[in-house]
Amino acid sequence: MLMLITLVCGLLFGFGLALSEMTNPAVVIGFLDIFGHWNPSLIIVMAAAVSVSMLGYKISKKQSVPLLADSWSLPTTRLIDRKLLTGSALFGIGWGLSGYCPGPGLTAVINNPQEGIYFVLALVAGSALYQFQNKK
C-alpha cells in the first residue's frame, strides 16, 4: 500500500509540475529575470505548494502516528548552521544556473534530453559527493 501511495503522490507531483510549466527552465529563469521580462507565475506555484504543506503539517500534528508508518519522520532541530546555509546556497545557485530544481530536472531527461542528462549527471555527482564527504 505504501508503494502505491508513493507512486500516486509522485504522479500527482509530476502532473502539477507539468501543469504549472515548472518543467520548463525558461519559466523559472523568467521568474529570476526581475529586470527583464519577469514572469511571476512561480510565486503562485510556491504559494500553492506552501499552502498544501502547511495543511498537511497541521493534519500531522493532530494524529499520533501516520497512516502508513510506525512513526513520524519530522525535523527535530531548528539549528541554522554552516551546512544548512551552504547546501541552500548551492541548491539555489544550481537552480538559477540550470533553470531546474531536482523534480523538474528529472523530467528534462525526457523533455529536453540534451540538457536533462547533464543536469541529472550533476545531480547524481553532487549527491555522491555529499555521501562521500559525510561518511562516518
Domain boundary assignment for the chain: 24-64, 80-136
Q: Which residue has the higher pLDDT, 110 or 47?
A: 47
Question: From CA 73, how far away is CA 58, in angstroms rounded?
Answer: 15
CB 37 within 8 A of CB 30: yes
**Tens digit of each residue's pLDDT (9 = 90 or more) over 12-37:** 988 888 888 888 888 878 888 889 88
Model's pTM, two decimal places? 0.65
> Which pLDDT does position 85 carry in this prediction?
93
**Tens digit of each residue's pLDDT (9 = 90 or more) over 54-104:** 998 898 888 888 888 888 887 888 899 998 899 899 888 888 887 788 888
